[in-house]
Structure 1
Amino acid sequence: MGVLSDVKVLADWLGKLFGWWKVRQNPIRAQAQRVLDVFAAHGVARTQISRLLPAQFAIPVKDFASADKLSEHLTPAFLDWVAEYFALNRSWLDGLSVDPHQTINCYKHPADFAAWLAERRTGEPFQFRLFVLKPSAKPIGPNCNENIVIVLEECIAYLDDQSVCRYFIFDGNGPLNHYPVIRSLMGLCVVADRTRCLVKGSVLKQKICTAIEDGQLLIPLGLSKARNSWEPDGMFFQSPANDLPWQKQLRADIAEDLNGVPCAVIGDES
């Protein structure tokens, strides 16, 4: 009798395990879980999600409690809204192997970043922050072989005193001992400074920088692991008279890169 009882318990346990496994093989449930993970990564609690939704998505608060419940409300329109709201690639939400974040393509062309910002500025203070990620706080220089990852944060809403942001990643990430990478980065910093976009350096472990660049880690989750900070645009706060030869050349190259960009686009230099 005891053996039969043990067999029944084991059979029940295996049945529940199979049911659990089967549920998690459901791609719709996986997509719903991905949506919940996106909100959590961007600092939005499940109890707050409904406060951000447009009226057309009347999803009860209780149905954000689990992926199983949320999966019943997934529609193309809702998923399109989530992707647009957080600047995500829609195919990533569908579970395809693409990078989650949208890319700002302006490597070697900082003027394109100026135009990108001009199209999106709302006049709100601190709408944008430019982050430069690397493994240490060592200053930028042609002898630095560290890789950088450049990302942009945009504040899009407030929940009481809590800001809700979305993130973009830049092309042109790479080693700082490659002069075009430094030139492009510092051009972005100049544009950011002139448009009152805050510039901040964050120190992250190399594996975290790599995970962000490879699309394996959402940017806000990576930023939350920052260990220290540094100043990517520090050289612009020193007198040009104190510039090293490479810094003098860099200033001249950036001036050339931004030559002809209207003041209305990059802001007042003063």
Structure 2
Amino acid sequence: MAIVGEVISVFGFLRNAWKLRKERRDPTRLSANRLITAFEAHGIARQQIIRLLPAPVLEASPEVTMADFSSPEKLQHKLSPQLLDWAAEYLNLKRAWLDGVDEPPHVVIDRYKRPAEYRAWFQARQAQAPEVGRWMSVWKAKGEEIGPDGSGPLCLVYEETSEGLDSKEWSRYWLLSDEWRLDHSPCVENMAAAVAVARSLGILVTGHGLPLDKLTRVTTGKMLIPQAALHRRGRWYPEDLADPAPGRNTEWQRAVWEGGQAWLAEAHRDTP
């Protein structure tokens, strides 16, 4: 059985290597593959994509059919700028990523050392999409301590959930951090400040742990957020850093809270 497993592993490696080689030689196939992969990651089956296409996109791609979305090989011959523009906007992904350019897939709204600016951004989202469910989640490595000895990536994810096809909920995502670290105190303080801003606007905040390899791939732009979200394990409470309970908080928690408040106050000092 071990030999069979090794053969399967080698076969999978060779298949992925051949696929990568094909995509490097043919960037249109890479774009088609990323489009299909992104929709499936967001819970939309490839055969359902055509149901979402608006009339202007269909008019610009009159020959596209349901069957064309069944594989990257078929879809690559039916790609159009209008189709890629629409997919990027619908899923809230970077168009350059769909084009095959090596950039992170998700839109990044990083306000490092300027956390007060999250308020205006959150309020703009609330005005633009008033009917959606929304929350902010803070991801850390699974099993990593939230304290002075913690280390590893720290990832802030903003999510909006609404009704999709056949009354099934689906989500769009934004990254609110850019390779922050749990072992870098300004990052933790800025996270606490962002949590405080979100909570003041009625946005639910949650905390989760992810396997380190998955979390690292998200923070470096190598994995889609909904793909990584499938690996979330456990809960923790970021609001304990933003608003520590009197008498129950540690010296480290107090330092993080004070640091977060200082970053928020910095914006007021900079305002004329």
What band does the TM-score fall into relative to the shorter chain?
0.7 to 0.9
The answer as to 2:192 corresponding to 1:195 is: no
| Alignment partner of 1:171 out of 174, 177, 196 | 177
Map residues 56-67 of structure 1 onto 2, 5 A cutoff: 56-58=56-58, 59-67=64-72
Change (3 A) 1:29 1:139: closer
Segments of structure 2 that go 5 or more residues without pairing to the other structure are 1-20, 59-63
TM-score, scaled relative to structure 1: 0.78
Q: In structure 1, what is the equivalent of residue 18 of structure 2?
A: none
Q: In structure 1, what is the equivalent of residue 157 of structure 2?
A: 151
SS at match of 1:153: strand
Of 24-33 and 88-97, deviating more is 24-33
1:110 deviates by 1.5
Q: Percent identity of the aligned residues?
A: 33
Map residues 90-101 of structure 1 onto 2, 5 A cutoff: 90-101=95-106
1:67 deviates by 2.5
- 2: CA distance between counterparts of 1:172 and 1:31? 24
Counterpart code for 2:53: L
Q: In structure 1, what is the equivalent of residue 82 of structure 2?
A: 77
Q: In structure 1, what is the equivalent of residue 17 of structure 2?
A: none
- 2: CA distance between counterparts of 1:214 and 1:23? 21
Of 188-197 and 131-140, deviating more is 131-140
SS at match of 2:55: coil
Q: In structure 1, what is the equivalent of residue 55 of structure 2?
A: 55
* 8 Å contact kept, 1:109–1:257: yes
| Superimposed CA distance per residue, residues 210-268 of structure 1 (whole angstroms, 9 cap, x where no aligned partner) | 11111111111011112322222234565334333333343333334334989xxxxxx
Counterpart code for 1:83: A
The answer as to 2:32 corresponding to 1:26 is: no
SS at match of 1:191: helix
- 2: CA distance between counterparts of 1:253 and 1:23? 46
1:96 deviates by 1.6
Counterpart code for 1:189: V
User: Max radius of gyration: which structure?
Assistant: 1
Higher helix share: 2
Of 132-141 and 187-196, deviating more is 132-141
Segments of structure 1 that go 5 or more residues without pairing to the other structure are 1-20, 263-270
Map residues 117-136 of structure 1 onto 2, 5 A cutoff: 117-121=122-126, 122=128, 124=130, 127-136=133-142
Of 93-102 and 58-67, deviating more is 58-67
- 1: CA distance between counterparts of 2:211 and 2:261? 33
- 2: CA distance between counterparts of 1:173 and 1:78? 31
Of 218-227 and 142-151, deviating more is 142-151
| Superimposed CA distance per residue, residues 170-225 of structure 1 (whole angstroms, 9 cap, x where no aligned partner) | 33543323211111011111112122222222211111111111111111101111
Aligned length in residues:
243
Counterpart code for 2:142: S
- 2: CA distance between counterparts of 1:237 and 1:251? 7
TM-score, scaled relative to structure 2: 0.77
Counterpart code for 1:251: W
